[in-house]
Amino acid sequence: MGESVGQLVGGSFEKVLLRVKKDSSIQLGEILVHETGSQKFFLQVYDLCYGSQISQQNLELMSGMELEQNLGVNLFDESIQVYSVAICKNLLVYDKLEKARLTAKSLPPLLSRFSRISEKDIEILNNPENPLFVGFLRSGSSKVKARVRIDAQKTFQHHVLLAATTGRGKSNLSSVIFWNLLENPGFGMLILDPHDEYYGRAGFGLKDHPGRNVIYFSDYDSPAGTRSLRINIKSLKPKHFLGVSEWSSAQAEAMARYYSRFRNRWIEFILLEKEQQEFPDVQPGTFSVIKRRLLNLLDVFVANGRITCEGIFSFDGFESTVSDICDFIEQGRKVIIDSSNISSQQEILVGSMVANLLFSRHKHYKKKGTLKQKPQAVIVLEEAPRVLGREVLKSGSNIFHTIAREGRKFKIGLYAVTQLPSLIPREILANMNTKILMGIEMKPERAAVIESSSNDLSTDERAIASLGTGEAIVSSSFLGFAVPVNVPLFSKKNMAGLPESNEKSLSFRKEDVELF
Protein backbone atom coordinates (compact mmCIF):
# COMPACT_ATOMS: atom_id res chain seq x y z
CA MET A 1 0.00 0.00 0.00
CA GLY A 2 1.15 3.49 -0.80
CA GLU A 3 0.78 6.57 1.34
CA SER A 4 -2.73 7.10 2.68
CA VAL A 5 -4.59 10.01 1.13
CA GLY A 6 -8.00 9.53 2.74
CA GLN A 7 -9.97 7.65 5.37
CA LEU A 8 -13.50 6.24 5.14
CA VAL A 9 -15.76 8.15 7.52
CA GLY A 10 -19.27 7.21 6.43
CA GLY A 11 -21.79 7.28 3.61
CA SER A 12 -23.61 4.46 1.84
CA PHE A 13 -22.83 1.83 -0.78
CA GLU A 14 -23.39 4.27 -3.66
CA LYS A 15 -21.93 7.26 -1.83
CA VAL A 16 -18.83 6.42 0.16
CA LEU A 17 -17.37 9.38 2.07
CA LEU A 18 -13.63 9.75 2.58
CA ARG A 19 -12.00 12.44 4.66
CA VAL A 20 -9.08 13.70 2.57
CA LYS A 21 -5.68 14.04 4.19
CA LYS A 22 -4.35 17.59 4.23
CA ASP A 23 -2.30 18.53 1.15
CA SER A 24 -3.23 15.27 -0.63
CA SER A 25 -5.09 17.11 -3.38
CA ILE A 26 -7.46 14.36 -4.49
CA GLN A 27 -9.11 15.01 -7.87
CA LEU A 28 -12.32 13.97 -9.59
CA GLY A 29 -11.91 10.61 -11.29
CA GLU A 30 -9.09 9.38 -9.07
CA ILE A 31 -9.06 5.66 -8.24
CA LEU A 32 -8.27 4.77 -4.61
CA VAL A 33 -7.38 1.41 -3.09
CA HIS A 34 -7.69 -0.18 0.36
CA GLU A 35 -6.19 -3.56 1.19
CA THR A 36 -7.52 -5.64 4.05
CA GLY A 37 -6.73 -9.31 4.56
CA SER A 38 -7.14 -11.11 1.25
CA GLN A 39 -9.17 -8.38 -0.41
CA LYS A 40 -8.55 -5.09 -2.15
CA PHE A 41 -11.33 -2.53 -2.41
CA PHE A 42 -11.33 -0.07 -5.31
CA LEU A 43 -13.19 3.25 -5.16
CA GLN A 44 -13.43 6.14 -7.62
CA VAL A 45 -13.95 9.79 -6.68
CA TYR A 46 -16.91 11.39 -8.48
CA ASP A 47 -17.46 14.51 -6.35
CA LEU A 48 -15.69 16.65 -3.77
CA CYS A 49 -17.05 18.86 -1.01
CA TYR A 50 -15.92 20.71 2.12
CA GLY A 51 -16.06 19.26 5.60
CA SER A 52 -15.65 21.00 8.95
CA GLN A 53 -16.02 20.40 12.67
CA ILE A 54 -17.28 23.98 12.91
CA SER A 55 -20.97 24.59 12.25
CA GLN A 56 -21.99 26.42 9.09
CA GLN A 57 -23.40 29.27 11.20
CA ASN A 58 -20.09 29.77 12.97
CA LEU A 59 -18.14 29.56 9.72
CA GLU A 60 -20.30 32.33 8.27
CA LEU A 61 -19.79 34.40 11.46
CA MET A 62 -16.03 33.98 11.21
CA SER A 63 -16.12 34.95 7.52
CA GLY A 64 -18.13 38.08 8.34
CA MET A 65 -15.70 39.16 11.04
CA GLU A 66 -12.78 38.81 8.63
CA LEU A 67 -14.51 40.38 5.63
CA GLU A 68 -16.39 43.21 7.25
CA GLN A 69 -14.23 44.12 10.26
CA ASN A 70 -10.81 42.94 9.06
CA LEU A 71 -10.40 40.92 12.21
CA GLY A 72 -7.91 38.10 11.81
CA VAL A 73 -9.41 34.68 12.45
CA ASN A 74 -7.15 31.87 13.60
CA LEU A 75 -8.40 28.32 13.87
CA PHE A 76 -7.08 26.06 16.58
CA ASP A 77 -5.53 23.01 14.84
CA GLU A 78 -6.91 23.99 11.44
CA SER A 79 -5.88 20.73 9.67
CA ILE A 80 -8.20 18.77 11.97
CA GLN A 81 -11.17 21.13 11.98
CA VAL A 82 -11.36 22.01 8.27
CA TYR A 83 -10.83 19.45 5.48
CA SER A 84 -12.14 18.12 2.15
CA VAL A 85 -14.48 15.16 1.69
CA ALA A 86 -14.23 12.89 -1.37
CA ILE A 87 -17.50 11.31 -2.48
CA CYS A 88 -16.75 7.93 -4.07
CA LYS A 89 -18.44 4.99 -5.72
CA ASN A 90 -17.55 1.31 -5.31
CA LEU A 91 -15.80 -0.08 -8.39
CA LEU A 92 -14.92 -3.65 -7.54
CA VAL A 93 -13.19 -5.97 -5.08
CA TYR A 94 -10.15 -8.09 -5.91
CA ASP A 95 -9.75 -11.38 -4.02
CA LYS A 96 -6.06 -12.24 -3.76
CA LEU A 97 -6.67 -15.86 -2.75
CA GLU A 98 -8.96 -16.64 -5.67
CA LYS A 99 -7.12 -14.20 -7.94
CA ALA A 100 -10.48 -12.98 -9.16
CA ARG A 101 -12.27 -9.68 -9.69
CA LEU A 102 -15.53 -9.58 -7.80
CA THR A 103 -18.47 -7.26 -8.14
CA ALA A 104 -18.55 -4.98 -5.11
CA LYS A 105 -21.40 -6.05 -2.84
CA SER A 106 -20.18 -4.84 0.53
CA LEU A 107 -18.59 -1.75 2.07
CA PRO A 108 -14.96 -1.42 3.09
CA PRO A 109 -14.43 -1.25 6.86
CA LEU A 110 -15.23 2.07 8.52
CA LEU A 111 -12.12 4.22 9.09
CA SER A 112 -10.16 2.16 6.56
CA ARG A 113 -7.37 4.09 4.87
CA PHE A 114 -7.12 4.48 1.10
CA SER A 115 -4.13 5.17 -1.12
CA ARG A 116 -3.81 6.06 -4.78
CA ILE A 117 -3.90 3.22 -7.32
CA SER A 118 -0.48 1.97 -8.41
CA GLU A 119 0.99 0.10 -11.36
CA LYS A 120 0.95 -3.08 -9.28
CA ASP A 121 -2.78 -2.71 -8.62
CA ILE A 122 -3.72 -2.34 -12.27
CA GLU A 123 -1.56 -5.30 -13.31
CA ILE A 124 -3.53 -7.71 -11.13
CA LEU A 125 -6.79 -6.41 -12.62
CA ASN A 126 -5.60 -6.25 -16.18
CA ASN A 127 -4.16 -9.52 -17.44
CA PRO A 128 -6.39 -10.81 -20.27
CA GLU A 129 -5.65 -13.87 -22.41
CA ASN A 130 -5.43 -11.87 -25.64
CA PRO A 131 -4.11 -8.47 -24.48
CA LEU A 132 -4.71 -5.42 -26.64
CA PHE A 133 -3.15 -2.15 -25.50
CA VAL A 134 -5.47 0.90 -25.52
CA GLY A 135 -3.58 3.42 -23.37
CA PHE A 136 -2.10 4.22 -19.98
CA LEU A 137 -4.18 4.33 -16.82
CA ARG A 138 -5.31 7.82 -15.85
CA SER A 139 -6.33 8.55 -12.25
CA GLY A 140 -7.81 12.04 -12.09
CA SER A 141 -5.40 14.05 -14.22
CA SER A 142 -2.44 11.94 -13.10
CA LYS A 143 -0.90 9.38 -15.43
CA VAL A 144 -0.17 6.07 -13.74
CA LYS A 145 2.76 4.07 -15.08
CA ALA A 146 0.55 1.15 -16.07
CA ARG A 147 -0.74 -0.11 -19.40
CA VAL A 148 -4.46 -0.74 -19.84
CA ARG A 149 -5.19 -3.84 -21.91
CA ILE A 150 -8.47 -5.37 -22.99
CA ASP A 151 -9.16 -8.90 -24.18
CA ALA A 152 -9.03 -8.48 -27.95
CA GLN A 153 -10.95 -11.65 -28.84
CA LYS A 154 -13.90 -11.00 -26.54
CA THR A 155 -13.91 -7.28 -27.22
CA PHE A 156 -14.12 -7.45 -31.01
CA GLN A 157 -16.44 -10.44 -31.06
CA HIS A 158 -19.00 -8.39 -29.13
CA HIS A 159 -18.47 -5.11 -31.05
CA VAL A 160 -16.82 -1.81 -30.13
CA LEU A 161 -18.26 1.70 -30.20
CA LEU A 162 -15.87 4.67 -30.28
CA ALA A 163 -17.78 7.89 -29.55
CA ALA A 164 -16.32 11.38 -29.35
CA THR A 165 -16.71 14.96 -30.48
CA THR A 166 -14.52 16.06 -33.38
CA GLY A 167 -10.92 16.77 -32.43
CA ARG A 168 -10.69 14.52 -29.36
CA GLY A 169 -8.36 11.95 -30.94
CA LYS A 170 -10.61 9.21 -32.37
CA SER A 171 -8.34 8.54 -35.35
CA ASN A 172 -5.23 8.59 -33.16
CA LEU A 173 -6.70 5.99 -30.78
CA SER A 174 -7.93 3.84 -33.68
CA SER A 175 -4.45 3.92 -35.25
CA VAL A 176 -2.89 2.79 -31.95
CA ILE A 177 -5.38 -0.08 -31.63
CA PHE A 178 -4.99 -1.19 -35.26
CA TRP A 179 -1.19 -1.03 -34.98
CA ASN A 180 -1.27 -3.41 -32.03
CA LEU A 181 -3.49 -5.83 -33.96
CA LEU A 182 -1.34 -5.97 -37.08
CA GLU A 183 0.95 -8.77 -35.94
CA ASN A 184 -1.90 -10.82 -34.51
CA PRO A 185 -2.97 -13.45 -37.09
CA GLY A 186 -6.08 -14.15 -35.04
CA PHE A 187 -7.74 -11.02 -36.43
CA GLY A 188 -8.66 -10.06 -39.97
CA MET A 189 -9.85 -6.51 -40.54
CA LEU A 190 -11.72 -4.47 -43.11
CA ILE A 191 -11.05 -0.78 -42.55
CA LEU A 192 -13.26 1.55 -44.58
CA ASP A 193 -11.23 4.75 -44.52
CA PRO A 194 -13.13 7.81 -45.83
CA HIS A 195 -10.28 10.19 -44.97
CA ASP A 196 -7.31 8.05 -46.07
CA GLU A 197 -5.64 8.55 -42.70
CA TYR A 198 -4.68 5.05 -41.54
CA TYR A 199 -2.39 3.68 -44.24
CA GLY A 200 0.00 6.62 -44.14
CA ARG A 201 0.25 7.48 -47.83
CA ALA A 202 2.12 10.73 -47.13
CA GLY A 203 3.54 10.06 -43.66
CA PHE A 204 3.79 7.56 -40.83
CA GLY A 205 0.96 5.03 -40.78
CA LEU A 206 0.01 1.37 -40.59
CA LYS A 207 2.08 0.66 -43.71
CA ASP A 208 5.20 1.21 -41.55
CA HIS A 209 4.47 -1.67 -39.18
CA PRO A 210 7.34 -4.18 -39.31
CA GLY A 211 4.86 -7.02 -39.81
CA ARG A 212 3.95 -5.72 -43.30
CA ASN A 213 0.48 -7.18 -42.87
CA VAL A 214 -1.56 -4.40 -44.52
CA ILE A 215 -3.34 -4.71 -47.86
CA TYR A 216 -4.27 -1.30 -49.27
CA PHE A 217 -6.88 -0.64 -51.95
CA SER A 218 -7.24 2.79 -53.52
CA ASP A 219 -8.80 4.18 -56.69
CA TYR A 220 -6.46 7.14 -56.81
CA ASP A 221 -2.75 7.01 -57.69
CA SER A 222 -2.19 3.73 -55.83
CA PRO A 223 1.32 3.60 -54.28
CA ALA A 224 3.71 0.86 -55.35
CA GLY A 225 2.85 -2.50 -53.85
CA THR A 226 -0.81 -1.63 -53.27
CA ARG A 227 -3.94 -2.56 -55.20
CA SER A 228 -6.31 -0.64 -57.40
CA LEU A 229 -9.88 -0.40 -56.12
CA ARG A 230 -11.94 -1.68 -59.03
CA ILE A 231 -15.03 -3.90 -58.80
CA ASN A 232 -16.97 -5.70 -61.53
CA ILE A 233 -20.59 -4.59 -61.71
CA LYS A 234 -21.66 -8.19 -62.35
CA SER A 235 -20.65 -8.97 -58.75
CA LEU A 236 -23.43 -6.73 -57.43
CA LYS A 237 -26.67 -8.14 -56.04
CA PRO A 238 -29.82 -6.30 -54.94
CA LYS A 239 -29.09 -6.99 -51.24
CA HIS A 240 -25.85 -5.04 -51.53
CA PHE A 241 -27.85 -1.84 -52.05
CA LEU A 242 -29.76 -2.15 -48.78
CA GLY A 243 -28.70 0.70 -46.52
CA VAL A 244 -26.91 2.44 -49.41
CA SER A 245 -29.96 4.27 -50.72
CA GLU A 246 -33.59 4.35 -49.71
CA TRP A 247 -35.71 2.05 -51.87
CA SER A 248 -39.48 1.70 -51.89
CA SER A 249 -40.90 -1.81 -51.60
CA ALA A 250 -41.89 -1.70 -55.30
CA GLN A 251 -38.35 -0.72 -56.35
CA ALA A 252 -36.70 -3.34 -54.15
CA GLU A 253 -39.05 -6.02 -55.49
CA ALA A 254 -38.39 -5.00 -59.09
CA MET A 255 -34.61 -5.25 -58.58
CA ALA A 256 -34.98 -8.65 -56.92
CA ARG A 257 -37.10 -9.94 -59.81
CA TYR A 258 -34.64 -8.65 -62.41
CA TYR A 259 -31.78 -10.33 -60.56
CA SER A 260 -33.73 -13.58 -60.29
CA ARG A 261 -34.40 -13.55 -64.03
CA PHE A 262 -31.11 -12.25 -65.46
CA ARG A 263 -28.62 -13.03 -62.64
CA ASN A 264 -25.29 -11.19 -63.06
CA ARG A 265 -26.57 -9.16 -66.04
CA TRP A 266 -29.48 -7.65 -64.13
CA ILE A 267 -27.91 -4.19 -63.80
CA GLU A 268 -26.88 -4.12 -67.45
CA PHE A 269 -30.45 -4.96 -68.55
CA ILE A 270 -31.99 -2.29 -66.29
CA LEU A 271 -29.57 0.39 -67.52
CA LEU A 272 -30.21 -0.52 -71.16
CA GLU A 273 -33.95 -0.87 -70.49
CA LYS A 274 -34.03 -4.42 -71.85
CA GLU A 275 -36.79 -6.97 -71.33
CA GLN A 276 -39.02 -4.65 -69.32
CA GLN A 277 -42.00 -6.21 -71.10
CA GLU A 278 -41.42 -9.38 -69.09
CA PHE A 279 -42.63 -7.47 -66.02
CA PRO A 280 -45.88 -5.83 -67.10
CA ASP A 281 -47.02 -5.30 -63.52
CA VAL A 282 -44.02 -3.04 -62.76
CA GLN A 283 -44.71 0.61 -63.45
CA PRO A 284 -42.43 2.30 -66.04
CA GLY A 285 -41.76 5.02 -63.48
CA THR A 286 -40.34 2.42 -61.10
CA PHE A 287 -37.79 1.30 -63.68
CA SER A 288 -36.90 4.93 -64.40
CA VAL A 289 -36.15 5.67 -60.74
CA ILE A 290 -34.07 2.50 -60.35
CA LYS A 291 -32.07 3.29 -63.49
CA ARG A 292 -31.42 6.88 -62.44
CA ARG A 293 -30.21 5.82 -59.00
CA LEU A 294 -27.98 3.06 -60.37
CA LEU A 295 -26.39 5.46 -62.85
CA ASN A 296 -25.59 7.84 -59.99
CA LEU A 297 -24.45 5.20 -57.52
CA LEU A 298 -22.19 3.35 -59.95
CA ASP A 299 -20.83 6.46 -61.68
CA VAL A 300 -21.76 5.24 -65.18
CA PHE A 301 -23.70 6.70 -68.09
CA VAL A 302 -25.52 5.30 -71.11
CA ALA A 303 -25.17 6.70 -74.63
CA ASN A 304 -26.07 5.14 -77.97
CA GLY A 305 -26.93 1.84 -76.33
CA ARG A 306 -23.53 1.53 -74.65
CA ILE A 307 -22.63 1.76 -70.95
CA THR A 308 -19.53 3.78 -70.06
CA CYS A 309 -17.96 3.37 -66.59
CA GLU A 310 -16.06 6.29 -65.06
CA GLY A 311 -15.51 5.25 -61.45
CA ILE A 312 -14.50 2.21 -59.43
CA PHE A 313 -17.18 -0.01 -60.98
CA SER A 314 -16.61 -1.69 -64.32
CA PHE A 315 -18.10 -4.32 -66.61
CA ASP A 316 -14.68 -5.60 -67.67
CA GLY A 317 -12.34 -7.48 -65.33
CA PHE A 318 -11.93 -7.20 -61.55
CA GLU A 319 -14.38 -10.05 -60.93
CA SER A 320 -12.45 -11.33 -57.89
CA THR A 321 -11.85 -8.07 -55.99
CA VAL A 322 -14.49 -8.68 -53.29
CA SER A 323 -13.61 -12.36 -52.84
CA ASP A 324 -9.90 -11.44 -52.68
CA ILE A 325 -10.62 -8.98 -49.86
CA CYS A 326 -12.52 -11.66 -47.93
CA ASP A 327 -9.65 -14.11 -48.52
CA PHE A 328 -7.19 -11.61 -47.03
CA ILE A 329 -9.40 -11.12 -43.98
CA GLU A 330 -9.66 -14.89 -43.49
CA GLN A 331 -5.86 -15.05 -43.59
CA GLY A 332 -5.71 -12.65 -40.64
CA ARG A 333 -4.58 -9.71 -42.73
CA LYS A 334 -5.74 -6.10 -42.38
CA VAL A 335 -7.39 -4.59 -45.46
CA ILE A 336 -7.67 -0.81 -45.78
CA ILE A 337 -9.99 0.58 -48.45
CA ASP A 338 -9.25 4.21 -49.25
CA SER A 339 -12.69 5.69 -49.91
CA SER A 340 -11.61 9.33 -49.74
CA ASN A 341 -12.04 9.81 -53.49
CA ILE A 342 -15.42 8.13 -53.90
CA SER A 343 -18.88 9.04 -52.66
CA SER A 344 -20.19 8.04 -49.26
CA GLN A 345 -22.77 5.82 -50.94
CA GLN A 346 -20.11 4.02 -52.97
CA GLU A 347 -18.06 3.46 -49.82
CA ILE A 348 -21.06 1.88 -48.09
CA LEU A 349 -21.81 -0.19 -51.20
CA VAL A 350 -18.28 -1.62 -51.29
CA GLY A 351 -18.43 -2.34 -47.56
CA SER A 352 -21.82 -3.98 -48.00
CA MET A 353 -20.48 -6.30 -50.72
CA VAL A 354 -17.56 -7.43 -48.57
CA ALA A 355 -19.65 -7.74 -45.39
CA ASN A 356 -22.34 -9.80 -47.15
CA LEU A 357 -19.84 -12.26 -48.60
CA LEU A 358 -17.90 -12.49 -45.33
CA PHE A 359 -21.07 -13.09 -43.32
CA SER A 360 -22.23 -15.75 -45.79
CA ARG A 361 -18.88 -17.54 -45.60
CA HIS A 362 -18.79 -17.49 -41.81
CA LYS A 363 -22.32 -18.89 -41.59
CA HIS A 364 -21.20 -21.69 -43.89
CA TYR A 365 -18.10 -22.34 -41.77
CA LYS A 366 -20.23 -22.60 -38.65
CA LYS A 367 -22.47 -25.19 -40.29
CA LYS A 368 -19.38 -27.20 -41.27
CA GLY A 369 -17.90 -26.84 -37.77
CA THR A 370 -14.76 -25.05 -39.00
CA LEU A 371 -15.53 -21.53 -37.76
CA LYS A 372 -13.32 -21.89 -34.67
CA GLN A 373 -10.25 -22.22 -36.90
CA LYS A 374 -10.98 -18.90 -38.63
CA PRO A 375 -9.65 -15.53 -37.43
CA GLN A 376 -11.99 -13.07 -35.77
CA ALA A 377 -13.19 -10.68 -38.47
CA VAL A 378 -13.54 -6.97 -37.65
CA ILE A 379 -15.28 -4.37 -39.83
CA VAL A 380 -14.37 -0.74 -39.12
CA LEU A 381 -17.19 1.73 -39.82
CA GLU A 382 -16.48 5.46 -39.72
CA GLU A 383 -19.57 7.66 -39.26
CA ALA A 384 -21.52 4.56 -38.24
CA PRO A 385 -25.02 6.16 -38.21
CA ARG A 386 -24.87 6.16 -42.02
CA VAL A 387 -25.67 2.43 -41.89
CA LEU A 388 -26.77 1.87 -38.28
CA GLY A 389 -28.80 5.04 -37.74
CA ARG A 390 -32.42 4.95 -36.68
CA GLU A 391 -33.58 6.79 -39.81
CA VAL A 392 -31.66 4.47 -42.14
CA LEU A 393 -33.10 1.36 -40.52
CA LYS A 394 -36.65 2.63 -40.89
CA SER A 395 -36.45 1.70 -44.56
CA GLY A 396 -35.30 -1.82 -43.71
CA SER A 397 -32.41 -3.80 -42.30
CA ASN A 398 -28.97 -4.04 -43.92
CA ILE A 399 -25.96 -6.31 -43.51
CA PHE A 400 -24.31 -4.09 -40.89
CA HIS A 401 -27.46 -4.14 -38.77
CA THR A 402 -27.53 -7.92 -39.13
CA ILE A 403 -23.90 -8.19 -38.01
CA ALA A 404 -24.59 -5.88 -35.04
CA ARG A 405 -27.32 -8.30 -33.90
CA GLU A 406 -25.89 -11.68 -34.90
CA GLY A 407 -22.22 -11.20 -35.79
CA ARG A 408 -20.83 -12.44 -32.46
CA LYS A 409 -22.19 -15.93 -33.24
CA PHE A 410 -20.22 -15.99 -36.47
CA LYS A 411 -16.96 -14.33 -35.36
CA ILE A 412 -17.63 -11.01 -37.08
CA GLY A 413 -17.47 -7.84 -35.03
CA LEU A 414 -18.01 -4.16 -35.70
CA TYR A 415 -15.74 -1.29 -34.70
CA ALA A 416 -18.15 1.62 -35.07
CA VAL A 417 -16.97 5.24 -34.86
CA THR A 418 -19.37 8.14 -34.42
CA GLN A 419 -19.83 11.64 -33.07
CA LEU A 420 -23.58 11.10 -32.62
CA PRO A 421 -24.32 7.83 -30.79
CA SER A 422 -27.89 8.97 -30.07
CA LEU A 423 -28.73 8.38 -33.75
CA ILE A 424 -28.09 4.65 -33.30
CA PRO A 425 -31.02 2.64 -31.86
CA ARG A 426 -30.64 1.65 -28.24
CA GLU A 427 -30.86 -2.09 -28.98
CA ILE A 428 -27.80 -1.82 -31.24
CA LEU A 429 -25.87 0.28 -28.71
CA ALA A 430 -26.65 -2.34 -26.07
CA ASN A 431 -25.10 -5.04 -28.31
CA MET A 432 -21.83 -3.11 -28.42
CA ASN A 433 -20.32 -4.41 -25.22
CA THR A 434 -17.23 -2.20 -25.30
CA LYS A 435 -17.56 1.56 -25.53
CA ILE A 436 -14.63 3.94 -25.74
CA LEU A 437 -15.64 7.49 -24.88
CA MET A 438 -13.33 10.39 -25.72
CA GLY A 439 -15.17 13.55 -24.76
CA ILE A 440 -18.81 14.13 -25.66
CA GLU A 441 -20.02 17.68 -25.20
CA MET A 442 -23.72 17.30 -26.04
CA LYS A 443 -25.93 15.96 -23.26
CA PRO A 444 -28.19 13.75 -25.48
CA GLU A 445 -25.11 12.00 -26.85
CA ARG A 446 -23.70 11.39 -23.37
CA ALA A 447 -27.06 10.04 -22.22
CA ALA A 448 -27.17 7.56 -25.12
CA VAL A 449 -23.85 5.93 -24.19
CA ILE A 450 -24.32 6.15 -20.43
CA GLU A 451 -27.68 4.37 -20.59
CA SER A 452 -26.32 1.56 -22.80
CA SER A 453 -22.90 1.00 -21.22
CA SER A 454 -21.84 -2.25 -19.59
CA ASN A 455 -20.50 -0.43 -16.52
CA ASP A 456 -22.40 2.03 -14.35
CA LEU A 457 -21.55 5.49 -15.69
CA SER A 458 -24.38 7.33 -13.95
CA THR A 459 -21.92 9.45 -11.94
CA ASP A 460 -19.49 10.01 -14.82
CA GLU A 461 -21.44 12.44 -16.98
CA ARG A 462 -19.30 15.43 -16.03
CA ALA A 463 -16.12 13.42 -16.50
CA ILE A 464 -17.18 12.34 -20.00
CA ALA A 465 -18.04 15.91 -21.00
CA SER A 466 -14.71 17.26 -19.78
CA LEU A 467 -12.37 14.67 -21.30
CA GLY A 468 -9.53 16.37 -23.12
CA THR A 469 -7.78 15.41 -26.34
CA GLY A 470 -6.26 11.95 -25.99
CA GLU A 471 -8.21 11.14 -22.81
CA ALA A 472 -10.76 8.33 -22.82
CA ILE A 473 -12.98 6.20 -20.64
CA VAL A 474 -13.17 2.52 -21.62
CA SER A 475 -16.39 0.82 -20.55
CA SER A 476 -16.56 -2.90 -21.27
CA SER A 477 -18.20 -6.12 -20.10
CA PHE A 478 -14.68 -7.53 -20.00
CA LEU A 479 -13.24 -4.94 -17.61
CA GLY A 480 -14.08 -4.80 -13.93
CA PHE A 481 -15.01 -1.11 -14.16
CA ALA A 482 -14.97 1.81 -16.59
CA VAL A 483 -11.26 2.57 -16.90
CA PRO A 484 -9.96 6.10 -17.58
CA VAL A 485 -6.96 6.12 -19.92
CA ASN A 486 -4.50 8.39 -21.67
CA VAL A 487 -3.79 7.49 -25.28
CA PRO A 488 -0.23 7.80 -26.62
CA LEU A 489 0.37 9.85 -29.74
CA PHE A 490 0.48 7.66 -32.84
CA SER A 491 4.03 8.27 -34.00
CA LYS A 492 7.02 6.28 -35.16
CA LYS A 493 8.83 6.79 -31.86
CA ASN A 494 5.90 5.74 -29.70
CA MET A 495 4.81 2.73 -31.75
CA ALA A 496 8.34 1.38 -31.77
CA GLY A 497 8.07 1.16 -27.96
CA LEU A 498 4.74 -0.67 -27.74
CA PRO A 499 5.43 -4.43 -27.62
CA GLU A 500 2.45 -6.75 -27.53
CA SER A 501 3.62 -9.44 -25.09
CA ASN A 502 2.93 -9.28 -21.37
CA GLU A 503 6.56 -9.90 -20.51
CA LYS A 504 7.75 -6.86 -22.44
CA SER A 505 4.96 -4.65 -21.26
CA LEU A 506 5.89 -5.12 -17.60
CA SER A 507 9.28 -3.55 -18.23
CA PHE A 508 8.02 -0.79 -20.52
CA ARG A 509 8.37 2.74 -19.19
CA LYS A 510 5.57 5.25 -19.73
CA GLU A 511 8.10 8.04 -19.61
CA ASP A 512 9.38 6.89 -23.02
CA VAL A 513 6.04 7.72 -24.64
CA GLU A 514 4.66 11.08 -25.73
CA LEU A 515 1.00 11.36 -24.78
CA PHE A 516 -1.47 12.63 -27.34
Window from 166-170, 371-375, 479-483 with minimum mean pLDDT: 479-483
For residues 71 and 87, give the distance between their C-alpha atoms in angstroms, rounded to a whole number. Answer: 34
Residue of 227, 196, 181 lying closest to 333 (CA atoms): 181
The verdict on residue 130 lying in a domain is no
Domain range for 67 is 4-117
Task: Identify whether residues 325 and 304 lie together within a single domain.
Answer: no
Task: Identify whether residues 226 and 346 lie together within a single domain.
Answer: yes
Look at residue 121 in the predicted model and tell me its pLDDT: 84
Helix (H), strand (E) counts: the chain: 18, 23
For residues 404 and 422, give the distance between their C-alpha atoms in angstroms, rounded to a whole number. Answer: 16
How many folded domains does the chain comprise?
Answer: 3
The verdict on residue 468 lying in a domain is yes
Task: Identify whether residues 332 and 431 lie together within a single domain.
Answer: yes
How far CA 29 is from CA of 277, 367, 507, in Å, comes to 69, 47, 26
* Domain at 179, CATH number: 3.40.50.300
Task: Identify whether residues 335 and 443 lie together within a single domain.
Answer: yes
Task: Identify whether residues 54 and 175 lie together within a single domain.
Answer: no
Task: Identify whether residues 300 and 343 lie together within a single domain.
Answer: no
The verdict on residue 139 lying in a domain is no
For residues 508 and 410, give the distance between their C-alpha atoms in angstroms, rounded to a whole number. Answer: 36
Task: Identify whether residues 223 and 306 lie together within a single domain.
Answer: no
Task: Identify whether residues 325 and 195 lie together within a single domain.
Answer: yes
Window from 223-232, 304-313, 479-488, 497-506 with minimum mean pLDDT: 497-506
Stated as kind and residue range, the H or E segment containing 144 is strand 142-151
**Among the three residues 291, 313, 335, which one is the final residue of a domain in this structure?**
313
For residues 227 and 217, give the distance between their C-alpha atoms in angstroms, rounded to a whole number. Answer: 5
Beta-strand relationship, 376-381 and 187-193: parallel
Stated as kind and residue range, the H or E segment containing 188 is strand 187-193
Is residue 25 left, alpha or beta, with left meaning phi > 0 and alpha meaning psi from -120 to 50? left
Q: What is the DSSP string of 418-435?
A: ES-GGGS-HHHHHH--EE
Task: Identify whether residues 245 and 264 lie together within a single domain.
Answer: yes
Contact present, 485 and 471 (Cβ < 8 Å):
yes
Whether 133 shows a pLDDT value over 50: the answer reads yes
Contact present, 163 and 423 (Cβ < 8 Å):
no
For residues 144 and 515, give the distance between their C-alpha atoms in angstroms, rounded to a whole number. Answer: 12
Chain segment 411-460, per-residue pLDDT in tens: 999 999 999 999 999 999 999 999 999 999 999 999 999 999 999 999 99
Q: pLDDT category, 103, cuts 50, 70, 90?
A: confident
Task: Identify whether residues 9 and 68 lie together within a single domain.
Answer: yes
**Among the three residues 294, 313, 332, which one is the final residue of a domain in this structure?**
313
Task: Identify whether residues 400 and 445 lie together within a single domain.
Answer: yes
Task: Identify whether residues 186 and 70 lie together within a single domain.
Answer: no
Q: What is the pTM of this model?
A: 0.91
- Greatest Cα pair distance, the chain, in angstroms, is 101
Whether 123 shows a pLDDT value over 90: the answer reads no
The verdict on residue 487 lying in a domain is yes
Whether 344 shows a pLDDT value over 50: the answer reads yes
